[in-house]
Amino acid sequence: MTIVNGIQNGNNYANKWDRADTKSRGDFRKVLRFSREGGLQLIPKRLEESTMEHTIISKESFHIIGVELKTTTQDGKNFVEIPQFWEKVLEEGYIEKIPAKKFQDTVLGICMDFEPSGSFSYIIGSEVTSIENTPEDMVCKMIPAGNYAVFTARGKMPGSIQETFKYIYQEWLPNSGYQRANSADFELYDERCRNAENAEVDIYVPIVST
C-alpha cells in the first residue's frame, strides 16, 4: 500500500476499497480489498479535516513473517501490482496461515529493500515471536531497531491514508528537522480499521535527524 516513490512525492495510490466481504474472517477485507479493475482513483479530502498529530518513538528490532512481492516504481508497475497482490493474499488466506503471531488481530504492509533502480520488496505479514516454522511460500525478515514518526490516518478508507501520506512527505517531513531513514516503513492495520467508513491506521515512517 505504501509505494516508495509515490509516497515520497506525496502521491500515494488510492484504489476502490468498497467491496463488502461476507465471511467473518474478512474483517480486514472490508478495508484492504482492492478493485480488480486496477487504475488509480484520487479521493479528495481536505488536509485540515484530518488529524495530523504524531509521535516520535524508538522501536526495537522485530521479526515478521509474510508474503513477499518484488515490484518496481518503473512505469508505475507498483500501482498495479500491489493492489492485485493484496487481493491475492486476502483471497488465498495467507494472513491466517502466519504462525507465531505476536498480535493476532494485526496486519502489516511493509516496504523494504529499496534499490536505486526503483525496485523494492512489499510484504504483507505480521510481527512474530518465532521464525522457526516459516511456511515455504512465505518469507521471514528482521526489521532493525530505529526511530519512527508515527501518524494515525483517520476517516474513510483509503482517502484518509492517502492524505496522511501526502501530509507527511509534502508538509511535515521537509519542515521537521528529520529525514527519512534507509529502513522499512509500514502501515499497521488492527481492529480499529474494521469500519472502513471511520477507520484508523497507524503509519510508521523511519527517520533520522538531519
Per-residue pLDDT of 123-159, as tens digits, reads: 999 999 999 999 999 999 999 999 999 999 999 877 7
pLDDT value at position 181? 95
Return d(Cα 173, Cα 160) in angstroms, integer: 18
| CA atoms of 127 and 123, how far apart (whole Å) | 12
Q: What is the pTM of this model?
A: 0.75
Kindly report the number of other CB atoms within 10 A of residue 140's CB atom.
18
Per-residue pLDDT at 4: 28
Written as one letter, the residue type at 78 is N
Task: Check residue 46 and give its pLDDT.
Answer: 40
For residue 159, the model assigns a pLDDT of: 76
**pLDDT value of residue 51:** 44
Distance CA 190, CA 202 (A): 9
Domain 4-209 has CATH 3.20.80.10: yes
Beta bridge partners of residue 148, listed in sequence order:
57, 206
What pLDDT shows up at residue 156?
A: 87
Where are the chain's structural domains?
Answer: 4-209
Find the radius of gyration of the CA atoms of the chain.
16
Q: What is the pLDDT of residue 21?
A: 34
Report residues of the chain scoring pLDDT below 70: 1-51
Cell for 170? 509534502
CA–CA distance, 200 with 198 (Å, rounded to integer):
7
